[in-house]
Amino acid sequence: MAAEGHTLTPGEYIRHHLVHLNNTGHKQESIVDFSVINLDSVVISVLLGAFVCFLLWRAARAASAGVPGRFQAAVEILVEMVDNQAKSVIHNANSRKLIAPLALTVFVWIFMMNFMDMLPVDALPGLWHKAGPALGFADYLRVVPTADLSTTLGMSVSVLLLCLFYNIKIKGLGGWTHELVTAPFGTSKNPIAALLLGVVNFSMQMIEFVAKTVSHGMRLFGNMFAGELVFMLIALLGGFAAFSLSGGLFFVGHVIAGTVWTIFHILIITLQAFIFMMLALIYLGQAHDAH
């Protein structure tokens, strides 16, 4: 994808592919800008979320007591796996009625968003290169929502809000407030010491909430961003194969590197979806535990 009469250098190619299609129509300049909405991440994640919900609804509707088909068996394996993990972490049966299905949905949803990284690098951006400007949009498109920090942090903040909700629901507002100023270092009968410990305890609790939320989203983002970048570098080998005198060598390298990384990346995208789901269950389980 190049401007008229100009062939992109490898650096320009990668920089172009790392720009989101947003509501401003140009590249985001600052690291944090809440006025910018990455339309590509929003649209693709919403479409994939709707597809996942339909898929799971279809599996539940078509479930039978007889010998299950492949699709039903696969969904049953996922449901049993998530349910066992939820039972091992969250011991409140009423809470699991919401949290277990939510964890299953999150796992499949993140897997599908991660799976977008398996598509050829220039497949959808290549189509958008012609369709986007014709529709009045900028010539930018990123198709992996989890390689967008706003998406992963948005999900981790949602987990944080659920944790706050269950902290209050299970322990009561008074009980949770008391925990904020007495854990992890306890308290003292001396008023001044109790005040100092309360400030320290509250500060540590806030640091813990922030650290868990940021690391939760950054872990998924970092892995998927790195995977997307590697695929771009491999795609450049194919580009050199088309325009280089030693194209055969670059083409062989392109095929081998692409195949190996794709096979390895299947494990990565599945593992990252599982890790995000498990951390969400662990954090929600901690919200149920009293210190």
Q: Catalytic site residues?
A: 215, 219, 223
* Amino acid symbol at 23: N
Question: How many residues does this entry show for the chain?
Answer: 291
Non-local CB neighbours of 218 within 8 Å, separated by 6+ positions:
149, 152, 153
Q: What angle do CA 43, 44, 50 make, to 5 degrees?
A: 90
39-48: which pairs have CB atoms within 8 A and are 24 or more residues apart?
40/140, 40/141, 40/142, 40/143, 40/145, 41/142, 41/145, 41/148, 41/150, 41/151, 44/113, 44/116, 44/143, 44/145, 45/109, 45/113, 45/145, 45/151, 48/109, 48/112, 48/113, 48/116, 48/145
Non-local CB neighbours of 17 within 8 Å, separated by 6+ positions:
121, 125, 142, 232
At residue 130, what are phi and psi to the nearest 5 degrees? -100, -40
